[in-house]
Structure 1
Amino acid sequence: MSDDLEDELRRAAALFDPLPDDALQIAVDAFVVHALDAELAALSFDSLDEPALVRSGETPRLLTFSVPGLSIEVEFAGGRLLGQLLPPQAAAVVVNGRLPLVVDEFGRFEADGVPAGALSLRCEVPGRTVVTEWLTV
């Protein structure tokens, strides 16, 4: 394949199937997480998987991520994120690698203005670093 054809195909792909705005940052964050030897907290509960009698657009999404000895419970609705570490403990929590949150003595944290889209949490607790898998909210 010639360089000219390759350049033309690259331009066409960028025009007709552009890379989502946050895709590059997600890829960089995923690489950083991979390189840091952090524990991956798997999604163990998602309220979207549960049947609901009535579900409005404002129904909060409830998520639980788990690793041995730690659960991260999250509620997300309308750009507001509420969460709690169980068991409660001192921690540093960061949303999407960019938004640090304050964790209180009960393991609770919150953030406003979290955009819908890709979401991951990084929790640094005594003796370990835990990251959640990426999820679209």
Structure 2
Amino acid sequence: MGESLTDEALWALLTDHVGDPVPPDVRAAAREAHGWRDPAAALAELIADSARDDGRPATVRGPGGARLLTFAADELTIELEVTRDDRHVSLVGQLVPPAGATVHIDHRGGSVELVADDLGRFSADGIPVGPVRLTWRAHADAVAAVHTDWVLL
């Protein structure tokens, strides 16, 4: 059998044959993304996105207006209105059926946790433009979580 390589020797060999090393911030983001996994959570699929519907303009209020997204999982839906500037997005959401819940927003700059009221309403400002995923856990069901696909905002 051949001689085993240390991690450092294997990394150097791969770097020599593959190209430039992966930047540290990319490696850190990959580690953090792996930590966001929750295998027990249900996945809410993106079922409507005003930015992709019928070739119509992706706004509801003219230029610079809102983007509307709808995610669904089983009998749960989240409706989301997204407004943005060059660097940040603002989110206004509604859980259907209405219920108080904890909403967790993962984004490239970290995460935000907030509370949806008893009617399922929530909002967040200052989320960095880029990939975003929402996870919510109804107050009445503290075990089951639902999360959305990652979406680019």
Query: TM exceeds 0.5?
Result: yes
Instruction: Check whether the contact 2:15–2:21 (CA below 8 A) recurs between aligned residues.
Output: no
Aligned Cα RMSD in Å?
2.8
Indicate the structure with greater strand content: 2
Indicate the structure with greater helix content: 1
Matches of residues 93-104 of structure 1 in structure 2 within 5 Å? 93-96=103-106, 98-104=111-117
The CA deviation at 1:68 is 1.9
Q: Which runs of 5+ in 1 are unaligned?
A: none
Deviations 1:27-75 (A, max 9, x none): 331xx222xx111111111111112258566232111111122111111
Percentage of pairs with the same residue: 32
Q: Decide which moves more: 44-53 or 70-79.
A: 44-53
Give the TM-score normalised by structure 1.
0.79
Give the SS at the match of 2:64: coil
Whether 2:94 is the aligned partner of 1:89: answer: no
Q: Which runs of 5+ in 2 are unaligned?
A: 1-8
Matches of residues 1-137 of structure 1 in structure 2 within 5 Å? 3=10, 4-9=12-17, 12-14=20-22, 19=26, 22-29=29-36, 32-34=37-39, 37-50=40-53, 51-53=55-57, 58-78=64-84, 79-96=89-106, 98-125=111-138, 126-127=140-141, 128-137=144-153
Larger Rg: 2
